[in-house]
Chain A
């Protein structure tokens, strides 16, 4: 995948990767009210990271993003299941979600929903799984 001295790719990547990451985060956050969500956001994030890998090679990206993607899987799962279990504290059935509107200094009135936390869980799991699969296969040369 990685070819040295591929300057055009590397330069454009440094720009595109951030746009992609930004779009991914947008998809994740906007999911509740517009098309998007944790799943596609996670996929998009993995796409952005993969692009980095293709442009800069495994060693470089490992230094840039010292993240153990496999660890993201349990973290995401814990979040997703945790939001479900959290509903027990309020004596409601498993995975009961709620939402409310809060006013913040900068953003004004913002809607916050516990379904968002669940989506975060999905997001981290997807990123973790996708990166684990692809990096494991790529490592196995």
Chain B
């Protein structure tokens, strides 16, 4: 039984059922979602023992076998960590949201979207097939879009949702192209198989483009610089959504992708610098901008950006381990990956907690603006305690889990700073410095969260509601996370041994077989560089926090319009504006212009082909001689054609036109086509009559008052079209590639019993064409009939408007 595949599908099934249950059930619909999520969490927990022994699980359901696309669920340490986060934090968030969202909201919709998202996210982390991974990847983008715009009545929600959709989907499509390139190189969609032959296609031309496209997908999803701009705007979503999607799960999808493809690309200089560099800069940029925020959720958004940058940079550093194949030297760099995975878990715990706390504050006092908050410590002591645990963990202060991962981050940064490859001897020293500076800012904004919200004067007049503790149900989920934050600090090795070390072998499949890359986390590592760095952070951070109002002038140095948001809006506006201009330029509604385009294209395409292939040469020596009758007829017809152009009245033009028609009939006679001549004569007569009938209704003949320029263009184009046609007609005579099949039809009397070959062809050999032509006539007749008989009378309503 492919239980894993079913586990991925269960949230989707729940999402399908919830809207029906929502109407029927008397209990809160959130409990259904909660039980689904808890069941999945428990199910994934049951894999821990096996996975910690290095086992992996693989189940395949064929989806599109002819293209090698299978719904393959693969569970190893890395997938398990993310799977547990998704379901675990998911359960807590759902539990929290049961109390957070009022029952007046359309909860059915909310939990449907949330379940969709959970299923998509599980699919992303457990898919082995790149195509299926992409499918789930886009599903997370879509469900996230739906969740951000949950309060679709608000403009901010819609804008934020649109922004996140545009950015993440752009990255997703880039990633898809990267996947396809990898498929071209490796010949398989399966990530495991790609990893198993990693290194065999590093010389391929597509190797680097595929890497960059993949990273683009990962960076947009994980809100790395400069694609981080969607994340702060996504804070328009309900707070449980922010806690779940934008701190614990979706933004980790990009990080998961980087970790997953590290065995393929790790050891490459470009990969190292792209991931580490972008990660570090994002770390700094996010932390730097988080400090200036006045909205708690925006602050947390920037802090999420910053922390994701930190995790990303650690994965970048860890990828350096693959630079040395199978050597003991590389083990030291693998510790960065351990730190990354460790911080991945830690960040999910404390950031989920912090979002929930902010949600509680917002829910209880009706604002998230830190200028209006303050002094809540006595009124909301439990919330304060939880918030303090989360913030201090984020700042990297013992005894919380953030401290451990931050120390390991510094270790990694210092180690890589001393490495001598990837031109690190020149730039490597910057890495620990940037990391350290960013951590100081992290400390400052963590302090802001706690102290600005809970300490200081209590300003009740600025709040919408007087502060009080929330219902116990709302405190349970952040409480559990707070316990985890502290618990992981005291027992980090439980997590390390059972979850992270097995995940390490997912990131370093070859290395894990030759060397022991497990890491034992020690809470106390002696007085070394990392510890002094932390001390420096606390001291400098405190100073910066206390003097914030003096130096925050830094933020005004750059004008506000110089942001990436402005760039994004500018690009969007420009794209809309420019495309409108371009479209209006050529789609101007004049049929004349469209004909000019069509004919110009015809001239360029056909004439160009003629010149390009040299097919314009022709030979007329083999043609039949031209008789005097034909000369006369042609002369008459040319006269008629030229006269039409200069005709002063419509009647003249009609009559001249019928001269052409009868001239053609005469030609049919000369060229021995009696049936055609007969038909042409009668049809020409009838059309002339119809022209005259129409003429009766037409307005006065007016001289076309087109500007001279467009008349000249028309003249040139018509001459060119004529030339091209003539050349084609003359050129085709050269290409007599095979004999005519007309000799077959000469047997018409034996085959069809008719002496008239034309009629036999029309009525017997090729009667199908005739039948359809008769139907064309029918349609024309019906068309004229309905146009005239069924048109709306003046008093009637216009039929077209109905």
Contacts and interface: CB of A to CB of B under 8 A. Distances in A.
Interface of A: 27, 31-40, 43-44, 46-47, 70, 73, 76-77, 80-81, 84, 94-95, 97, 99-100, 111, 113, 115-116, 118-119, 121-122, 125-126, 128-130, 132-134, 136-140
Given A37-B759, A118-B763, A32 B754 contact: yes
Nearest to B762: A37
Interface residues of chain A: helix, strand, loop or mixed (majority): helix
B462 interface: no
B753 A35 contact: no
Contact of B679 (A32, A43, A81, A138): A43
Contact of B763 (A34, A38, A129, A130): A38
Given A40-B675, A97-B764, A136 B774 contact: no
Nearest to A95: B767
Could you say which of B690, B753, B770 has the most chain A C-beta atoms within 10 Å of its C-beta? Answer: B753
A131 to B, nearest CB: 9
B752 A99 contact: yes
A84 B769 CA distance: 12
A32 B765 CA distance: 13
Contacts of B784: 132-133, 136-137
Given A34-B756, A137-B788, A39 B679 contact: yes
A73 B776 CA distance: 11
A70 B768 CA distance: 23
Contacts, number: 134
Nearest to B774: A125
5 interchain residue pairs of minimum CB distance: A99-B753, A129-B781, A35-B674, A115-B763, A33-B755
Contacts of B770: 80, 118, 122
B774 A113 contact: no
B601 interface: no
Contact of B686 (A43, A76, A111, A139): A43
A80 B778 CA distance: 12
A34 B767 contact: no
Given A37-B675, A136-B788, A130 B760 contact: no
Given A77-B775, A77-B778, A113 B753 contact: yes
Nearest to A79: B774
B752 A126 contact: no
Interface in B639-676: 674-675
B595 interface: no
A130 B686 contact: yes
Contacts of B755: 32-34
Interface string B673-690: 011001100110110011
B792 interface: no
Contacts of B780: 129, 133
A104 to B, nearest CB: 16
A115 B756 contact: no
Given A36-B759, A119-B763, A129-B780, 15 more contacts: A31-B759, A32-B760, A32-B763, A37-B756, A37-B762, A39-B679, A40-B675, A73-B778, A84-B768, A99-B754, A116-B763, A133-B784, A136-B784, A137-B693, A139-B788
B789 interface: yes
Interface in B607-662: none
B771 interface: yes
B763 A97 contact: yes
Nearest to B783: A133
Contacts of A32: 753-756, 759-760, 763
A44 B683 CA distance: 10
A37 B777 contact: no
A125 B774 CA distance: 7
Given A27-B678, A111-B753, A115-B767, A73 B781 contact: yes
A136 B756 CA distance: 35
Contact of B778 (A33, A97, A129): A129
B785 interface: yes
B778 A125 contact: yes
A130 to B, nearest CB: 7
Nearest to B685: A47
26 contacts: A27-B678, A32-B755, A37-B756, A37-B762, A37-B763, A43-B683, A44-B682, A70-B785, A73-B782, A76-B774, A84-B768, A84-B771, A95-B767, A99-B752, A113-B752, A115-B763, A119-B763, A122-B770, A125-B774, A129-B777, A129-B778, A130-B781, A132-B785, A136-B785, A137-B784, A138-B693
Contacts of A133: 690, 780-781, 784-785
B756 A95 contact: no
Contacts of B760: 32, 115
Contacts of B764: 97, 113, 115, 118
A42 to B, nearest CB: 9
